[in-house]
Amino acid sequence: MRVVAALSAGSMDTVVEIGPGRGALTEAIVAAGVPIVAIEIDRDLAAALRARFDERSCRVIEDDILDVPLASLGDRLLIVGNLPYNISKPVAMKLVNERRCVGRAVLMFQREVADRLTAHPGTKEYGPLTVLAGRAFTIERLFRLPPGAFRPSPKVVSTVTRWIPRPAGELPDALVPALQHTLRASFAHRRQTLQKNLRHQLGEDEATVRRPLAAASIDGSARAESLSPEEFVRLAAIVGRRTV
């Protein structure tokens, strides 16, 4: 299976599968001789997985992945899963916030979500998720999977992505809240200029807002989608939590 090959897992690794469902991917990982922790929120599916796999090769946790601290499962974890649209962003943000536990990840998303994760500045897909996830990980598209690759077949095309952690200094832990606040403010109204968005969010006059923009060498008349991730990091370090 191409997903298993992309994960490049070995017998000394610990794979965490998000939402294994009926266990098609789980079976392929177990067959490769790699220990796996399968996190399944559905009680019946979790019970079926326990009955199907030996606990020594597949440990099943019946829970919501968003409620499971990754640190409780180990470090340098290999994360894999086919993520439904409704939890794609929360899971992506979980990986950003708990990235010190992640060795790498191979994740399937609806194509539109993958487009946002890998977008470039100046495109309509580019936004806060692009910047945050992209500062924590190098994210690359691997291949697409048509609806017919799944049973039952969904109505959407899936894109498989690989996530490799970036050096810790590219997104210091202390900067994450400030960057989140800055991005939320900057993209609040995509058609407005950066200066107008920040002024509204900060509740301050135009002259006061100009100062952090000038200090970050950023043109306040630009729109948020035109800024690079590096510029947002620079701005967040100056504006900080004042954007809440």
The predicted structure's pLDDT at residue 84: 87
For the chain, counts of helices (H) and of strands (E): 10, 7
The closest of 60, 55, 33, 25 to 45, measured between CA atoms, is 60
HSE of 147 in the Cβ direction (CA atoms, 13 Å)? 5
What burial letters (b/e) apply to 213-228, b meaning 16+ CB within 10 Å? beebebebeebbbebe
The predicted structure's pLDDT at residue 148: 57
Give the domain ranges of the chain: 2-167, 173-243
The predicted structure's pLDDT at residue 241: 45
Distance, CA of 161 to CA of 99 (rounded, Å): 16
Distance, CA of 236 to CA of 83 (rounded, Å): 30
The predicted structure's pLDDT at residue 203: 64
The predicted structure's pLDDT at residue 102: 97
The predicted structure's pLDDT at residue 244: 39
Residues in the chain, pLDDT under 70: 146-155, 202-204, 240-244
AA letter at 123: T
When the candidates are 3.40.50.150, 3.30.230.70, 1.10.10.10, 3.90.1150.10, the CATH number that belongs to 2-167 is 3.40.50.150
Note the pTM of the prediction, 2 decimals: 0.88
When the candidates are 4.10.520.10, 1.10.8.100, 3.40.630.30, 1.10.3720.10, the CATH number that belongs to 173-243 is 1.10.8.100
